[in-house]
């Protein structure tokens, strides 16, 4: 799959549910209206859809949400998809999780061939963790990280940088992560979906964060890549890697190799654009995959050059109306 700008699409992110057991203040409103379960693709349909993408050249597959591990019987889908690892058609099967359900699934994830996961942790202060997630329990997440590492899964932490909330804690979070053999990626808040908070108050440019970190740490740019949009530095004092995902201050569109599918079968060619393609209709229209494959090709042919993210200080409106949990993190 080659888009109009010559980029090869080899990375698929699949939201298996828009539901989550947290309500992070930068991601969701507290009183969310979720999709009716009847609108979701079945696990069998998700397997078939992913398999067509793998047949068309996808090498890396990430399951997201919402929180993917709250989807009923989600391990059935992981087990089914793992056959593509065994055949060599898929190079990596991974997921992004808040860690709340990780302790009970870590061993089976490892058995299915999952070697690396991302866990979202914005603060190590239990009270602040509860505040930013609204419903989250930090101890439960840390237990999940312990279980994943014990199962041999490499854990990378993701932290959204929030001005006047966790910006001063990020150096300590980085030391803690690196001390446990985990890399850390920090992410700028993205203007997606209406939330209760004002993102103009939350927004922290990572260029400013990096400048502050460089007063205390030696950061060296390195070409390390995991297939995603992060740009990495090596931290001399800790020996670990720190990634920066900067959709606002320095976008990563020129090398974009990924597309996203929602739990309803909608394909978004760009996280920061509204243009999408319905794959559920061709998926269900025939037992064969020709219609589905043609719909995917047509959509990839519309993949834009880049996104339109902007923090609008005039209207306070999000750049994209849908929440991140709909598209998938």
User: What string of DSSP letters covers 227-284?
Assistant: SSS-EEEEETTT--EEEEE-TTTS--GGG--EEEE-TTSEEES-TT---EEE-HHHHH
As a whole number of angstroms, the distance between CA 268 and CA 292 comes to 15
Tokens of 13: 């992110």
| Sequence ranges of the binding site for S-adenosyl-L-methionine | 26, 66, 120, 190
Tokens of 46: 């998700």
As a whole number of angstroms, the distance between CA 216 and CA 160 comes to 20
Q: Which residue from 132, 230, 192 is spatially nearest to 326, judged by alpha carbons?
A: 192
Strands 258-261, 11-15: parallel, antiparallel or unpaired by DSSP? parallel
| Sequence ranges of the binding site | 13, 20, 24, 26-27, 62, 66, 96, 120, 156, 190, 253, 256, 258-260, 270
Map out the domains of the chain with their CATH numbers.
Answer: 11-327 (3.20.20.70)
- Cα distances (angstroms) measured from residue 313 to each of 191, 225, 319: 11, 33, 11
As a whole number of angstroms, the distance between CA 56 and CA 52 comes to 6
Q: Which residue from 222, 221, 235, 117 is spatially nearest to 170, judged by alpha carbons?
A: 235
The SS3 call for residue 213 is helix
DSSP code for 167: T
- Beta carbons within 8 Å of 283's beta carbon, 6+ residues apart: 41, 45, 48, 49, 265, 292
Q: How far apart are the first and last CA of the chain?
A: 22
As a whole number of angstroms, the distance between CA 177 and CA 172 comes to 9
CB 131 within 8 A of CB 169: no
The SS3 call for residue 119 is strand
| Sequence ranges of the binding site for GTP | 13, 62, 96, 156, 258-260
As a whole number of angstroms, the distance between CA 43 and CA 37 comes to 12
> What pTM value is reported for the model?
0.85
As a whole number of angstroms, the distance between CA 73 and CA 14 comes to 16
Strands 219-222, 183-188: parallel, antiparallel or unpaired by DSSP? unpaired
| Sequence ranges of the binding site for [4Fe-4S] cluster | 20, 24, 27, 253, 256, 270
- Tens of pLDDT along the chain (329 residues) come to 998 989 999 999 999 999 898 888 888 777 777 888 888 999 999 999 999 999 999 999 999 999 999 999 999 999 999 999 999 999 999 999 999 999 999 999 999 999 999 999 999 999 999 998 988 899 999 999 999 999 999 999 999 998 888 889 999 999 999 999 999 999 988 654 454 555 456 778 888 999 999 999 999 999 988 767 789 999 999 999 999 988 655 556 777 888 999 999 999 988 777 789 999 999 999 999 999 999 999 999 998 887 654 544 455 454 445 455 555 55
């Amino acid at each position: 799959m080659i888009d109009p700008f010559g980029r090869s699409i080899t990375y698929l992110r699949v939201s298996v549910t828009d539901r989550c057991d947290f309500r992070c203040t930068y991601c969701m409103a507290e009183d969310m209206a979720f999709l009716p379960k009847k609108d979701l693709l079945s696990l069998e349909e998700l397997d078939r859809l992913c398999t067509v993408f793998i047949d068309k050249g996808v090498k890396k597959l990430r399951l997201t949400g919402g929180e993917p591990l709250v989807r009923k019987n989600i391990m059935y889908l992981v087990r089914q998809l793992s056959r593509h690892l065994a055949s060599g058609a898929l190079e990596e099967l991974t997921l992004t999780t808040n860690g709340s359900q990780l302790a009970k699934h870590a061993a089976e994830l490892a058995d299915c061939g999952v070697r690396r996961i991302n866990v979202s942790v914005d603060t190590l202060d239990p009270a602040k963790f509860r505040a930013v997630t609204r419903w989250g329990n930090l101890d439960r997440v840390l237990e999940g990280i312990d279980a994943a590492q014990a199962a041999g899964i490499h854990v990378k932490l993701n932290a959204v940088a929030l001005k006047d909330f966790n910006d001063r804690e990020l150096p300590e979070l980085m030391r803690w992560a690196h001390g446990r053999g985990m890399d850390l990626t920090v992410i700028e808040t993205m203007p997606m979906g209406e939330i209760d908070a004002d993102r103009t108050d939350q927004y922290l440019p990572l260029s400013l964060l990096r400048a502050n970190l460089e007063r205390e740490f030696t950061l060296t740019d390195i070409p390390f890549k995991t297939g995603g949009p992060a740009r990495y530095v090596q931290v001399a004092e800790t020996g670990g890697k720190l990634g920066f995902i900067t959709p606002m201050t320095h976008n990563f569109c020129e090398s974009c190799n990924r597309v996203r599918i929602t739990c309803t079968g909608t394909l978004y060619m760009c996280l920061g654009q509204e243009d999408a393609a319905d794959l559920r209709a061709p998926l269900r229209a025939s037992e064969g995959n020709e219609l589905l494959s043609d719909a995917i090709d047509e959509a990839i042919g519309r993949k834009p050059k880049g996104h339109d993210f902007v923090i609008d200080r005039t209207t306070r409106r999000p750049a994209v109306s849908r929440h991140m949990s709909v598209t998938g993190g």
